[in-house]
Structure 1
Amino acid sequence: MADLGETKSKLFKRLNSLTTKRFIRLMLSFSILLVFLLHSSGVLQVTLLDALERFSYDVKLNSTAPHTTDHRIVIVDLDEKSLQQHGQWPWNRGLVADMVSKLLEQHQVQSISFDMVFAEPDFSDGISVLEDVGQYLPQEVVQKWQRILDFDQQFAQVIKDQPVVLGYVFQQNSEDIINQLTEPSTLLSPSIQEKLDLISPKGFTANIASLEAASPISGFFDNPIVDEDGVYRRVPLVQTYQGGIYPSLALSTLIINQDAPKLRLDIQQEQDYAAIEGLYLGSNYIATGALTDVYVPYRGRQESYPYVSASDVLQSNEPIPILKNAIVLIGTTAPGLLDLRSTPLQKNYPGVEVHANLISGMLDGTTRHRPSYSLAIEFLTLMLIGLVIIFSPFINAPFKHLSLLSALALAHTLINLYLWNSQLVIHLVSPLALIFTLLAFQTSWGFFIEARAKRHLAKLFSQYIPKELVNRMAEAPESFELSGESREMTVLFTDIRGFTNISESLPPKELSKLMKEFLTPMTEIIHKHNGTIDKYMGDAIMAFWGAPLPDDQHRYNAIHAAEEMVEALKKINNKFATRNWPTLDIGIGINTGMMDVGNMGSEYRMAYTVLGDAVNLGSRLEGLTKSYGVSTIIGEDTFRNLDGILCREIDRVKVKGKDRPVSIFEPIGYQDLLSPDEIQFIDDFNEMLLKYRAQDWPGCLEIIQKLIKRSGPHPIFKVYLERIRTYQKQPPGLDWDGVFVHTSK
């Protein structure tokens, strides 16, 4: 009976343990579902999910954009050509009035919209001068010249009672009011306004009074709902200010081209709840989100609409055919005027084309929107998918479970694409992420106990080889053989200068502590920039980029790591000074090229390493840093196609063991951050190299002396001074190629 009782006790313990584990798994699964539900409802923000949703939207947009040209809308461009011929913007209003007059009368356009604001009077005219001298002139002369010189009034006369839309800007964070707005398109009652979640700016910058009064309608061109990554995906069609509804520039353009139909909001109300679902323009309807926002229906990349230079409009004496009956937007693509936007299709996209896409989309009914009820759809979708997965009868049958989840993912994706083609934007990523998160959790749950020892071993192993390699070895150890593969990579060597003397001056324990204090931060920097530590060789470090995981930025990552290592050494030396340890100085050599990478070694011991001529050259470059007195030297293959980092060519050399000469460079810094003096120094040094290779010794010496006077003595100047003196006595010959042969490592 005692044995039976003991057996029962063990059985109950196992059942209790099993029940407890299942309960914990169930609770953790519900916790995962809860996180997604809270994110969907807006209570919890998961940055990664938001970023993935934006990415999925961009992919769908790029995949379905028609990439056609809409000739109904023409952009009159204040381009570089126009600015060169008529002066920098802003032009005087007389010239703008002339352009508008030509567009309306000579080119017979349908309407004109300005993607700009005329917030200040035109001070380019001579009115102020006339006021000073007017007291000495007859009154009729003064009045005549006032009519001639008042360009603002001329501009106002040209646009009066014409289909011309002026632009203005609302301010979301400033209460500054510049000039006055025109009358709103419609008014909201205070009770309705309280219920709606409309965009309500605090201030604005409008056009001067004479122009605002002359224009039949205006529209704002600011976008207060740009996404967090700065990309223009959606824009509001209206904003509300002091109870008035004001349309955007695109919507105002549509209004004026449809004989100014009355603008009316489609507001759905239930007791204390109210939400906007769209806009009525006469008999036309535009579905929108709750903020009256729509997603910009980009047709394609830049120039999806015909462009005409503003200078061509001004100078043409004949009608330009493409302008006839066109909706004209006047804007700029000139980089100096800073009207470029980041869009899902292109980073630097003309802001005026954003309005063009909106107008085109509203004309065709292709604007997409995220309806007010989308949250309910997404919440219910997550709840349904989550409950199906959590209570799946196939949870312990991996193949059937995976098939079920795949079917759920496919069904959700197809439904989402159907809604997309129906002009509705519903989140795609969150339900897919929930499926894969629950799958990953439930699949890995049964392996926690079994994998504990493996994880512990991997943790220890990660101190010696990269974590990524440990994970890949653990997942598929049979895939790692002694043979490697060949790929383009970047290798870095760094060494402590004068380490022999340092090691002789310190006891072994102190030396060991010193090396740990040096190697730890240097290793952290290399890992931070995605580098793999190959090995420590006494006081030296060998690292590489591009394996085990591919890295298309391996050149940049290696150079960034080198730069940070040099900076970190200053802090290390400050710390060493407090311990009376010697100051360290390092040299860094970086080279890029084809290398053999993989597990190399014997049956008894293997090492994940790189081999090849490019690796050997990297080691030689590190050795040259002391000769030239620089901290970092990179090879010509690393320098090639390097964008944004300015480098100084140091020399063209043959290193020991290599027959082919190579150019070597010193990375100076980011080009945008260098001062004009630093850039001039590099230019002068390059000129010195040209004279040196042309055997113009006097010219070379003259530049070196100028550089020394400007920046002080440097070992590299000493190198060239000694060579020049030698070559002056013993000329290298006419066939000399400027290459210096180094005979030591």
Structure 2
Amino acid sequence: MASHLRPWLTRLQLQPALALAGLFALWVLMEALAGLRLLAPLDTYFSDHLLRQHASQRPTPDNIVMIGIDQRSLEDDAMLDFAGRNWPWPRMVHAELLRELQQRGAKAVIFDLTFTEGDPSAPESDRAFAQALRAFPAYLPLVVQPDGQPSPFKRLPPLMAVRPGPDAQPDAGAPLLTPMALPVDVWRTGLINFLPDPDTVGRRYYIDYSRQGWRIPSLPARVARDQGWVVPLQTDILLNWYSKPFPRLSYRDVVLSRQFSKPIPLPDLRGKIIIVGAYASGLSDLHPTPLSRLTDPPTPTAGPEILATALANLQHGDWLRPAPRASELGLAILLMFLLAWGWRRGWHVSLLALGLLLATALSTLGSYLLLQRTILWLPFSYLTLCWLYFFICALLYFLAERRRREHTVQLFNRFLDPRVVRKLVDRNALAQAEVGQAVEISVLFSDIRGFTTLSERQPPEKVVQMLNGYFDLQVEAIDLHGGTLDKFIGDAIMAFWGAPLSNPHHASEAVAAALDMTDRLEQFKRMLGEAGQGFDIGIGIHSGPAVVGLIGSTQRRLDYTAIGDTVNLASRIEGQTKGIARILVSESTRLACGEQFEFIDHGEHQVKGREQPVRLFEPKRKTT
């Protein structure tokens, strides 16, 4: 039974843990290789929180300035007189703005406004804007549309910098929203398409849009290359956000700054990169980003701000670099096998949970610290897999633990008081009992005197009834003093103290139980009346080392018992009680009891199986 129990516990606790570790590791590996990433939303959820926290500590660069077409620019009386009352404004207004920015020493100007159709009512206005763009070249937006008539790439003006790759298809094209209102010699364009992730949140920005082997540069990449900044050789970058919006001026204030007798004061724009975009309600280009939840309620991020973030990242070279997926994969596999190793070593579930919690906290901290070095490390989905693995194994552990407790209770309830059994369950005594152990114990043997004569005068059912009543009283005394009931041997009782729960006072408890058993004997004899006149018992106790554990046939029956010379001598001492005393104990038991009892020395006696005589003592309660 015991030999089968341990493999059963092993199969239930260890093999599933190791098997699950292998399965989870295989799943993680296959998911990484196949690019499925079923738990990727967890990574994006946690990364957005980290990015917002990280962004809150990043100062916004001041060399990129936004000029916003805000509500004030649309409704101000002076602006209405200057630009008219209809939107879009005549493009000569943008020409005036461009001349103003040129005079103020702006380094570069980017229009985040589309100019797709000419103004038939004021063609001179479009010509004026084109002339201003020739005098001070600015960057114009280009949009790839989801559908429409494709424009062949090979026919686009060279100024657009759309370039073929080695595998470019000659007839490739795409539906493009180009600045058709302006002549092609000012088409210094760049892509401004919003690049959403599968959850529609924008976390990246195009560097080059690739289509059929052709590459269309984005506006930030176009400016960066013209400025001589380092541009990565990849299709897009992960944006590294800033704490606040970029410095912004009202379009109205800039274009009208010299139109009044008292000029409108403006900050120094020399050497600044200017982005002109719409911010007014109904005109603004708004998109969800990780920063959207920085405000309450969440507000989308304006398109010009996203463009400016990409541009600033390229200027400072601090866009986010994804950490190798192998590092996240390796972490998950390592943690899973460490957990499996912990289960195998029998570590408590709370210790494993604490370890995994610590690993999760350190990984989160590591992810945040790596952000400081512009590395985006997202182990969160794999950590979730580790926690899932842990909870499944914890459930198996719980089931195995419950089975172990049930088995322990069933096994020891035959020998011990239920209160003691509960302590054994908590201390995992079953595992110790299976292997057996050598311990110091006190063994008690009790046998009935005159029972044969008594049984001859009573019918069998009456004999059994009396015997059971006697055993009930004696076992209560053993339980009361914390003893382990080993077995009944006919009309004899064997019990011991000191196992399975260690007890340094095992000798004193055994003697106290023996004295209590004699008291209960007198109670039992009174219950029997005349029939109990010849009923008596003898009790022998010896203290010493013995092997205690589950002993017997693994196929049929196992008993929790003690074996060894200490047991044999206790039985022999019980045999010496007849004609001397009801209770006799060995000298080792007397010495172990200290001064708790009084002892009557009955001298040395020769016992069967021992060459040396044994000194025996009769214990008595101390008199006050």
TM-score by length of 2: 0.55
Cα deviation for residue 95 of structure 1 reads 2.0
Deviation at 1:186, TM superposition (A): 7.0
- SS class of match (1:123): coil
> Match of 1:401?
352
Correspondences of 1:291-306 after superposition (within 5 Å):
291-301=234-244, 304-306=245-247
2:194 maps to a residue whose letter is: N
Which of the numbers 152, 166, 180 marks the counterpart of 1:190?
166
Q: Deviations over 1:259-313 (max 9, x none)?
A: xx4xxxxxxxxxxxxxxxxxxxxxx43447xx53212222124xx2221111222
Q: Note the 1:368-387 alignment, pairs <5 A.
A: 368-370=320-322, 374-387=324-337
Q: Are 1:239 and 2:234 an aligned pair?
A: no
1:430 corresponding residue in structure 2? 381
The 1:36–1:398 alpha-carbon spacing in structure 2 relative to 1, beyond 3 Å, is: same
Query: CA contact under 8 A between 2:115 and 2:181: conserved in structure 1?
Result: no
Work out the CA distance in 2 between the residues paired with 1:434 and 1:253. 43
Residue pairs, 1:74-473, within 5 angstroms:
74-84=65-75, 85=80, 86=83, 87-105=85-103, 107-125=104-122, 149-160=123-134, 162-172=136-146, 176-177=150-151, 181-183=156-158, 185=161, 187-191=163-167, 202-208=174-180, 210-215=182-187, 217-224=188-195, 226-241=196-211, 243-256=213-226, 258=227, 261=228, 284-287=229-232, 291-301=234-244, 304-317=245-258, 318=263, 320-346=266-292, 347-370=299-322, 374-392=324-342, 393-448=344-399
Aligned-residue offset at 1:203: 2.7
Whole-angstrom CA distance in 2 between matches of 1:378 and 1:39? 12
Question: How far does residue 69 in structure 1 lie from its aligned partner after superposition?
Answer: 4.1
Alignment CA distance shift 1:177-1:335 (3 Å): farther
Deviation for aligned residue 1:327: 0.9
User: What is the rounded CA distance, in whole Å, between the counterparts of 1:229 and 1:79 in structure 2?
Assistant: 29
**Partner Cα distance (2:301, 2:238) in 1:** 16
Aligned to 1:616: none
Instruction: Give the distance between the partners of 1:338 and 1:203, measured in 2 at CA.
Output: 23
Alpha-carbon offset, residue 43 of structure 1: 4.2
Aligned to 1:345, what secondary structure does the other structure show? helix
* Pair 377,174 (structure 1): closer, same or farther in 2 beyond 3 Å: farther
Give me the whole-angstrom Cα distance separating, in 2, the residues matched to 1:223 and 1:175: 20
- Asked if structure 1 preserves the Cα contact closer than 8 Å seen for 2:150 and 2:175, the reply is yes
Q: What per-residue deviation string (whole Å, max 9, x for no partner) do you get for residues 94-141 of structure 1?
A: 222222222223x3322110112211122332xxxxxxxxxxxxxxxx
Distance in 2 between residues matched to 1:449 and 1:401, nearest whole Å: 16
TM-score scaled to structure 1, two decimals? 0.46
Provide Cα deviations, 1:514-544, integer angstroms capped at 9, x if missing partner. Answer: xxxxxxxxxxxxxxxxxxxxxxxxxxxxxxx
Please tell me whether the aligned partners of residues 166 and 212 of structure 1 are also in contact (alpha carbons under 8 angstroms): no
Cα contact 1:165–1:218 (8 A) shared by 2: yes
Residue identity in the other structure for 1:109:
A
Q: Name which one, 1 or 2, has greater alpha-carbon Rg.
A: 2
Q: Quick one: percent identity of the two aligned structures? A: 23
Instruction: Give the drift of 1:218.
Output: 1.3
The number of residues matched between the two structures is 379
Residue-by-residue CA offset, 1:178-219 (whole Å, 9 max, x unaligned): 99744364745435x79xxxxx9843211117444224x211
* Greater RCO, 1 or 2 (C-alpha within 8 Å, sep 6+): 2
- What is the CA RMSD across the aligned residues, in angstroms? 3.2
The answer to whether the 8 Å contact 1:287/1:369 transfers is no
Following superposition, the deviation at residue 26 of structure 1 comes to 3.0
Q: Return the alpha-carbon distance in structure 2 between the equivalents of residues 408 and 244 of structure 1.
A: 45
Q: Which residue of 2 aligns with 1:600?
A: none
- The answer on 1:38 being equivalent to 2:35 is no
Aligned residue number for residue 59 of structure 1: 49
Q: Counterparts of 1:603-682 in structure 2 under 5 Å?
A: none
Letter in 1 for 2:307: H
Which runs of no fewer than 5 residues in structure 1 stay unpaired? Answer: 1-6, 126-148, 195-199, 262-283, 453-745
Alignment partners' CA distance in 2, 1:42 and 1:115: 38
- Give, in whole Å, the separation in 1 of the partners of 2:13 and 2:353: 22
Contact 1:386 1:435 in 2 (8 A): yes
Q: Deviations over 1:67-89 (max 9, x none)?
A: 53432111111111222234343
Contact 2:126 2:181 in 1 (8 A): no
Residue 445 of structure 1: how far off its partner (Å): 1.3
For residue 377 of structure 1, report the CA deviation from its aligned partner.
2.6
| Unpaired segments ≥5 residues, structure 2 | 293-298, 404-624
Change (3 A) 1:370 1:17: closer
8 Å contact from structure 1 (residues 201, 239) kept in 2: no
Q: Measure, in 2, the Cα distance between the counterparts of 1:223 and 1:213.
A: 26
Residue 71 of structure 1 corresponds to 62
**Whole-Å separation in 2 of the counterparts to 1:383 and 1:14:** 28
CA distance in 2, matches of 1:412, 1:325: 42
Q: Distance in 1 between matches of 2:9 and 2:334?
A: 30
The amino acid of 1:89's aligned partner reads W
One-letter identity of the residue aligned with 1:238: D
Contact preservation (8 Å) 2:162, 2:217? no
Provide the rounded CA distance (Å) in 2 between the counterparts of 1:181 and 1:89: 29
Q: Shift in Å at residue 337 of structure 1?
A: 1.3
- What amino acid does structure 2 have at the position aligned with 1:95? V
